[in-house]
């Protein structure tokens, strides 16, 4: 009896030991597989075909500055960035603190400095589709991705692509989710202004304005949050007009894009513009040009939508004339300016 119990205990302990060893062995195998998976080559498809990367890149060069916002939002720090133009010396204010300051400028987006890029020894170059003429030279230096990301609704696709390349799919999905949640928040607030027709404008001097049409990137976001832009003009994103002609456009609310040099409420100081019905009625929403006109990615979109939310939450003197039929087409109004 004693020997049998001993045998049972011995067998039990042996089984436990062997089970533990087996678990450790399997855990080691799974860990090796996880490491192998994280280091396995990744093939991604882009505007110029496909590119295979053996591991997540560490030395990244961007040949268009708008890409800096998308990468910084995902915690990716490039070593080289092309300027918007020769005059650019700084990054947008809302990117400060997110971008490591030791990156190098490598020419401009119109003319990347190929020698400067080569000296940085990148292991990945990201270019815009408008720079595809340099793809042969760039791809000879390092794996190169050519993306279409400079439009109003393209940064999301670039973020998803970079999520795969840098194994940051979680960050990419979080950015898109946050962006959608913010848009939903603004849309819920703007729903109280159903039927409102908005017109984005920028002051260009005495009695002069730049009107942004339905083709503009700004209009895409405004439409997405429930603020429908009512003016179009032959596929042009904007048109410069004499301010007096605004009264003839189909709009009852103005979204004023304000430059840093403009004081708040400046439209009310212009003797012509202050006579516009929307201005007289107090239906003016001001947004900051730095992010409203760039729309480079999740950070500028977030700032723009939060600014819209803050302005709309103060309330506008608007009453939908037909609240039970707000989806009904508006009365025909001239959409062209001679």
CATH assignment of the domain containing 296: 3.40.50.1980
Residues 155 and 268 in one domain: no
- 338 assigned to some structural domain: no
* pLDDT of the residue at 100: 87
Separation between Cα atoms, residue 202 and residue 205, nearest integer Å: 9
* Predicted confidence (pLDDT) at residue 17 exceeds the cutoff of 70: no
Instruction: Pick 301 or 22 by higher pLDDT.
Output: 301
Residue 118 falls inside a structural domain = yes
Instruction: Examine the domain organization and report whether 161 and 200 are in the same domain.
Output: no
Indicate whether 27 pLDDT > 90: no
- Do 152 and 202 sit in the same domain of this protein? no
Question: Are residue 59 and residue 129 in the same domain, yes or no?
Answer: yes
Whole-model pTM: value is: 0.78
The mean pLDDT of 22-29, rounded to a whole number, is 41
Per DSSP, the three-state class of 134 is helix
- Does residue 324 lie in a domain region? no
Q: What is the pLDDT of residues 160-217, one digit of tens each?
A: 999 999 999 999 999 999 999 999 999 999 988 888 889 999 998 888 899 999 989 8
Checking if the pLDDT of 324 tops 70, the result is no
For residue 165, the model assigns a pLDDT of 95
236-265 pLDDT, tens digit each = 999 999 888 888 888 889 999 998 888 888
| Spatial distance between the Cα atoms of 297 and 96, rounded to a whole number of angstroms | 15
Looking at the structure, tell me whether residues 149 and 241 fall in a common domain: no
pLDDT at 38 > cutoff 80: no
Q: Is 73 helix (H, G, I), strand (E, B) or coil?
A: helix
* Band of residue 334 on the pLDDT scale cut at 50, 70, 90: very low
Domain membership of residue 97 (yes or no) is yes
Helices 217-224 and 298-313 cross at an angle (nearest 10°) of 60
How many whole angstroms separate alpha carbon 92 and alpha carbon 68? 10
Q: What is the pLDDT of residue 39?
A: 57
Residue 137 in this model has a pLDDT that exceeds 90? yes
pLDDT of 14: 40
- Are 200 and 105 within one domain? no
Give me the pLDDT at residue 274, please: 87
Q: Domain limits at 242?
A: 194-318
pLDDT band at 147 (very low <50, low <70, confident <90, very high): very high
pLDDT tens per residue across span 81-116: 999 988 888 888 889 888 888 899 999 999 999 999
Q: Is 220 part of a structural domain of the chain?
A: yes
Query: Does the structure show a pLDDT above 80 at 149?
Result: no
> Is 28 contained in some domain?
no
* Judgement on whether residues 303 and 198 belong to the same structural domain of the protein: yes
Q: What is the pLDDT of residue 335?
A: 38
Residue 233 domain flag: yes
Considering only residues 140 and 281, tell me which one the structure prediction assigns the higher pLDDT: 140
211 lies in the same domain as 288: yes
Q: Which residues are paired to 209 by β-bridges? A: 203, 241
Same-domain pairing of 310 and 200: yes
Q: How many CA atoms lie within 13 A of 238 on its CB side?
A: 17
Question: From CA 212, how far away is CA 238, in angstroms rounded?
Answer: 4
Q: What is the pLDDT of residue 154?
A: 80
pLDDT, tens digit, 9 for 90 and up, residues 209-242? 999 999 898 998 999 999 989 898 888 999 999 8
Q: Of the ranges 175-189, 241-255, 275-289, 317-331, which one carries the lowest mean pLDDT score?
A: 317-331
Distance CA 227, CA 304 (A): 13
Residue that is last in its domain, among 117, 150, 167 = 167
> Are 141 and 226 contained in the same domain?
no
Number of structural domains the chain divides into: 2
Based on the number of CB atoms within 10 Å of its own CB, is 240 exposed (0-12), middle (13-18) or buried (19 or more)? exposed
In a domain, 178, yes or no: no
Residues 245, 206 share a domain: yes
On average, the pLDDT of the chain sits at 82
Nearest-CA neighbor of 201 among 277, 258, 264? 258
Looking at the structure, tell me whether residues 222 and 153 fall in a common domain: no
């Amino acid at each position: 009896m004693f020997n049998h119990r001993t045998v049972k205990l011995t067998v039990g302990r042996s089984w436990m030991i062997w089970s533990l060893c087996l678990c450790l062995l399997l855990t080691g195998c799974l860990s090796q597989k996880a490491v192998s998976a994280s280091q396995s080559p990744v093939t991604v498809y882009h505007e110029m075909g496909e590119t295979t990367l053996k591991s997540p890149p560490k030395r990244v060069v961007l040949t268009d500055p708008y890409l800096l916002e998308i990468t910084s939002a995902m915690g990716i720090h490039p070593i080289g960035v092309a300027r918007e133009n020769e005059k650019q010396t700084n990054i947008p204010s809302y990117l400060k603190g997110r971008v490591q300051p030791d990156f190098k400028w490598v020419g401009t987006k119109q003319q990347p400095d190929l020698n400067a890029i080569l000296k940085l020894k990148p292991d990945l170059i990201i270019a815009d589709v408008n720079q595809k003429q340099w793809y042969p030279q760039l791809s000879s230096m390092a794996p190169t991705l050519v993306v279409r990301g400079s439009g109003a609704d393209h940064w999301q696709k670039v973020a998803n692509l970079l999520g795969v390349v840098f194994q940051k799919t979680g960050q990419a999905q979080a950015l898109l989710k946050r962006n959608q949640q913010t848009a939903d928040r603004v849309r819920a607030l703007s729903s109280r202004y159903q039927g409102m027709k908005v017109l984005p404008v920028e002051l260009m001097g005495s009695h002069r304005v730049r009107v942004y049409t339905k083709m503009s990137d700004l209009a895409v976001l405004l439409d997405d949050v429930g603020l429908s832009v009512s003016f179009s003009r032959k596929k042009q994103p904007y048109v410069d007009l004499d301010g007096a002609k605004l009264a003839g456009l189909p709009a009852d609310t103005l979204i004023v894009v304000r430059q840093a040099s403009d004081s708040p409420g400046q439209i009310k100081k212009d003797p012509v513009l202050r006579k516009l019905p929307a201005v007289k009625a107090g239906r003016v929403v001001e947004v900051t040009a730095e992010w409203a006109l760039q729309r480079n990615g999740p950070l500028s979109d977030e700032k723009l939508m939060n600014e819209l939310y803050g302005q709309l939450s103060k309330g506008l003197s608007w009453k939908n004339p037909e609240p039970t039929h707000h989806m009904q087409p508006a009365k025909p109004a001239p959409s062209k300016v001679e």
